[in-house]
Every structure is written in structure tokens, then in C-alpha cells.
Amino acid sequence: MSLEIPQPFAGHPDLTVEITTGTEHWRAGEIALAVGGDGRVEVLNRRAGEEQRFSGRLDASDVDALGADVAGLRLPGRGGDTEPDETPVLVAVRRDGEVLSAGEAWDGRRYEDARLDGLLRRFDAIVSDVTGGRLPYGDEGPIG
């Protein structure tokens, strides 16, 4: 199933794209990014029983770029072989809290799927910007 989102995404304040990666008790923990069609951004980080929250805004062109990355994206699910340190990626499009479309994959699948990799690169950039560089990698830089 492919993810559905109106294009352009900006200007739809009732819609939110949510992208969650990681595992709470592994490396940087679980990071959840929520971007609304009005540009509002929320980042929630759960790590070792602690939570950090950050908020910010994106301009309309960045909101539209994220929407374009999500539109029609097909995520294969989390079946099949995985690496020992594999982490999940969950993507959902919501309207007023209700899930309209969603999908999941293993993070390592990004190397097989240029669209998933592009979305995760955008995720990393937004999270880094909103958290002032504290997440997703902090001073360590990307792993791998």
C-alpha cells in the first residue's frame, strides 16, 4: 500500500505526517517527528526512560517537499531478514489524529530504496534543525 497525501501538502493544517525511527533503549533512542500541513513541527525523543520534546516551524516549501517525499511511497513492512542492530521506521499520515495511511519498514531498507533514503535524509535534517543539532546524532554524527 502506498502512502497518500494531498499535493501540495502545505495549507492542510488538519493533516500531519509522522515519522518515527529508532528504539528507545538503543543509541539515540526513539525519535518521533510530526509535521503539520501548517508548518508546525514537533520532535519527541524517548531514550532510556527519559523524554525530550522540541518544537519548531517549517516554511511552506519545506512542508511541500516533505509531502512530495511521502506521496505514493511504498513501505515493505518489517518482514524478512534483518541485521542485529536494525531499527524500525514508521510513517503515518493523519487527519485530526485519525490515521489515513501508514506504512513501516526496517531502516536498513533505505539502501535498497532511494525514496525511503531521501525521506529519512529529510527526517534527519528536520530533526537536527529543530533540536539545534542535539538529535538525531548529536556530536557523534551518523552511524555507519
Of 133, 130, 134, the C-alpha closest to 43 is 130
Supply the DSSP symbol for 74. B
Beta strand 98-106 with 88-95: parallel, antiparallel or unpaired? Answer: antiparallel
Residue 1 lies in a domain: no
Q: Please count the structural domains in the chain.
A: 1
Provide the domain limits for residue 121: 15-134
- List, run by run, the mean pLDDT of 10-residue segments along the chain (144 residues): 89 96 75 97 91 96 97 85 76 94 90 93 95 77 47
Burial (CB < 10 A; 0-12, 13-18, 19+), residue 18, is middle
Residue 56 lies in a domain: yes
- Asked whether the whole model's pTM tops 0.75, one would answer yes
